[in-house]
């Protein structure tokens, strides 16, 4: 499995409905612990958003394909994954319609209009998240305090905006809070424990290649180490390496978004470039750009833009050369 993914080109999933379904099932299994964690920390609101996003994504895919008279492919479960990832990128305070609009954008505008499964050149969930964020910044702010174990937040708690872990005045959180996910943030970003478990599951199952997450996290580690010089200390607030690695969307992005085959390079070196590039752009936006609290989605999207070019430059010659003979085509 691993080898096969390394050598074939990204649109290879197109005609392999069965294997797509199996892969997507693995991704869903890997995402489930984080989904449970998000419901544990953010209660009913998280469950609502997850359901709305997944149902809308599947419905959008189904109706788009019916409307354009195509064979429906909802059973490959990729729309479920897109819906889950989108919900993971929403704050618990987001209204339901934001999740619905996001899912429609992800499925119709980003994926289906460019040819459907395996054809989109940008990550659908990330484009949707970014469009939502650029459209409704205040509704997308990740400043809801988690209320572990409670179905509904204590009265008034939702309304109280707390400092997000990243951004202008970052609050101080202990290492355990950051790791367990007991911090404000997007639904699926906060719990590092379940994200790492899911990531390991995908690595073991051979669904994702280790190079992108390793290069991503490794480069981020080095860059923040050089910049801050401290591994971790409570006094330094957010100005230390571990705080930066464990807050925001870095781990969710490194394991689940940057590794999306369709929008990441094919060759081993291309994947290293992808990881290094994601971390570098993330670093630049977090450290130097005051207009956004978090740069992870922009960083991955920027590398998505460069992916076809990276492929062109790094894929072994006979491959990039004889374009019509690409294995994905008509295989």
Partner 1 sequence: MSEKKNLRKIFMNGILDENPTFRMVLGMCPTLAISTAVNQGIGMGLATTFVLVFSNLVISLLRNIIPEKVRIPSFVVVIATFVTIVDQLMKAFVPALSQSLGVYIPLIVVNCIIFARAESYAFKQPPMASLVDGLGMGAGFTLALILLSSVRELLGSGTLMGAQVMPASYHPMAIIIRPPGGFIMLGLLLLVVNAAVKAMQKHKASRAKEESV
Partner 2 sequence: MNSLLLIIVGGVLVNNFVMSKFLGICAFLGVSKKTETALGMGMAVTFVMAIASLFTYLVQHYLLIPLHLEYMQTIAFILIIAVLVQSVEMVLKKTSRSLYLALGVYLPLITTNCAVLGVAINNTTAVEGGYNLIQSVVNGTAGALGFTLAIVAFAAIRERLEIGNMPKWMDGFPGALIGAGLMSIAFQGFSGLIH
Binding mask 129-168 for partner 2 (x = CB under 8 A): -xx--x----------------------------------
Minimum distance between the CB of residue 7 and partner 1, rounded to whole angstroms?
34
Minimum distance between the CB of residue 305 and partner 1, rounded to whole angstroms?
12
Residue 137 or 152 with smaller CB distance to partner 1: 137
In the list partner 1, partner 2, none, the entry touching 281 (Cβ below 5 to 8 angstroms by class) is: partner 2
In the list partner 2, partner 1, none, the entry touching 283 (Cβ below 5 to 8 angstroms by class) is: none
- The size of the interface with partner 2 (CB under 8 A), counted in residues, is 42
59 touches partner 1 (CB under 8 A): no
Residue 121 or 210 with smaller CB distance to partner 2: 121
In the list partner 1, partner 2, none, the entry touching 137 (Cβ below 5 to 8 angstroms by class) is: partner 1
Site residues for partner 1, window 121-140 (CB under 8 A)? 131, 134-137, 139
305 touches partner 2 (CB under 8 A): yes
Site residues for partner 2, window 73-112 (CB under 8 A)? 109-110
Question: Which pairs with CB-CB distance under 8 Å and at least 24 residues apart come from 285-294?
Answer: 286/166, 286/244, 286/248, 287/227, 290/168, 293/141, 293/142, 293/164, 293/166, 293/167, 293/168, 293/248, 294/142, 294/166, 294/167, 294/248, 294/249
21 touches partner 2 (CB under 8 A): no
Catalog residues that contact partner 1 under the rule CB under 8 A: 109, 131, 134-137, 139
Catalog residues that contact partner 2 under the rule CB under 8 A: 11, 14, 68, 109-110, 113-116, 118-119, 121-122, 127, 130-131, 134, 281, 284-285, 288-292, 295, 297-299, 301-302, 304-306, 308-309, 311-312, 323-324, 326, 329
């Amino acid at each position: 499995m691993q080898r096969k993914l390394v050598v074939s080109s990204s649109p290879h999933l197109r005609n392999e409905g069965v294997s797509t379904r199996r892969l997507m099932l693995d991704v869903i299994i890997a995402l489930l612990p984080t989904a449970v964690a998000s419901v544990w920390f953010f209660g009913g609101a998280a469950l609502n958003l997850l359901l709305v996003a997944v149902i809308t994504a599947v419905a959008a895919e189904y109706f788009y394909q019916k409307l354009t008279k195509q064979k429906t492919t909802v059973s490959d479960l990729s729309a479920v994954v897109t819906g889950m990832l989108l919900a993971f990128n929403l704050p618990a305070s987001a209204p339901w319609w934001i999740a619905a609009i996001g899912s429609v954008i992800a499925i119709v505008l980003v994926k289906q209009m460019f040819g459907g499964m395996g054809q989109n050149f940008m990550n659908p969930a990330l484009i949707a998240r970014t469009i939502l964020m650029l459209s409704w910044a205040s509704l997308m702010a990740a400043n809801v305090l988690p209320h572990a174990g409670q179905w509904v937040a204590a009265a008034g708690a939702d309304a109280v905006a707390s400092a997000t872990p990243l951004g202008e005045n970052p609050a101080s959180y202990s290492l355990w809070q950051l790791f367990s996910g007991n911090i404000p943030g997007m639904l699926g970003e906060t719990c590092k424990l379940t994200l790492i478990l899911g990531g390991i599951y995908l690595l073991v199952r051979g669904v994702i290649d280790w190079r992108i997450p390793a290069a991503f996290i490794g480069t981020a580690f080095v860059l923040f180490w050089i910049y801050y010089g401290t591994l971790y200390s409570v006094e330094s607030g957010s100005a230390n390496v571990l705080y930066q690695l464990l807050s925001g969307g870095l781990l969710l992005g490194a394991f689940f978004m940057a590794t999306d085959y369709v929008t990441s390079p094919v060759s081993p070196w291309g994947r290293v470039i992808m990881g290094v590039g994601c971390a570098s752009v993330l670093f630049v936006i977090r450290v130097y750009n005051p207009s956004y609290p978090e740069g992870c989605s922009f960083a991955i999207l920027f590398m998505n833009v460069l992916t076809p070019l990276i492929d062109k430059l790094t894929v072994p010659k006979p491959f990039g050369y004889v374009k019509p003979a690409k294995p994905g085509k008509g295989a």
